[in-house]
Amino acid sequence: MKDNFQIFQLMLAMRIILAGVCGTIIGIERSNRSKSAGVRTHCIVAVGAALMMIISKYGFSDTSAGEFGMRGADGARIAAQVVSGIGFLGAGMIFVHKNSITGLTTAAGIWATSGIGMAIGAGMYVLGILTMFIVVAAQILFHRNFRWLKTPALKTVLIDEVDVPDYQNVIINKFRDMGISVVDVAAEKDIATGTRNYSLTIEEPDTVTEDEILNAVKYSCRIKNSL
């Protein structure tokens, strides 16, 4: 009897450790993005949620029928409070500034991490680990800075007092050779000097630096000012 109880306690401890590992994995991704809730927060939330689930499920076995069972007792009375408690924690991570909201994904991740901890605490290892992988994958693959979802960086280049004939085609071809797409071009002629002022909206790839763009503008024509 005593040996069985010690083995059972060891099994519960392994659940808490596994929950901590899952929380740590999620926290590493958040920490790499310099979020307010990182490895420690997610690990503690997962471990705490697993512990509360174990207590809710097995902590009152001495007052109910069965050796380790919960027959006759409400197994959800403690675990239910984890969900509402995590809600307060998540709310503290959401910041609203003017029309911008930050921290919402991190708060949702904390909420999901608590659910993962509860699932593992209840012995649902496959569901908990699978959810952990889904959460991490969603945070990585659907992040706005992820390569295949990243919004193209648009910049405006202003070029003043150009006296090169057909300069618009010259600079567009120069940018095209560099892998830069010209989204829009606006030209204005200065009647007094006979020169033109250009405003180009370009789509800048990650491989091209700002200095390279300025050098392309500088050496592609004779101009007095370039911004």
- In tens, the pLDDT along 56-88 reads 877 766 655 555 554 555 666 677 777 777 777
CA 26 to chain centre: 10
Mean pLDDT taken over the chain: 76
Q: Minimal CA–CA distance to 110: which of 121, 126, 94, 99? A: 94
Ranges 36-50, 61-75, 212-226: which has the least confidence: 61-75
Evaluate if pTM is beyond 0.85.
no
CA distance 73 to 65: 9
**pLDDT band with cut points at 50, 70 and 90 for residue 212:** confident
In DSSP terms, which residues pair with 181 in a beta bridge? 203
Count of Cβ atoms closer than 10 Å to residue 2 Cβ: 6
- In tens, the pLDDT along 112-151 reads 888 899 899 888 889 889 999 988 888 877 765 555 445 5
CA distance 36 to 103: 8
Count of Cβ atoms closer than 10 Å to residue 103 Cβ: 18
More confident site: 35 or 41: 41
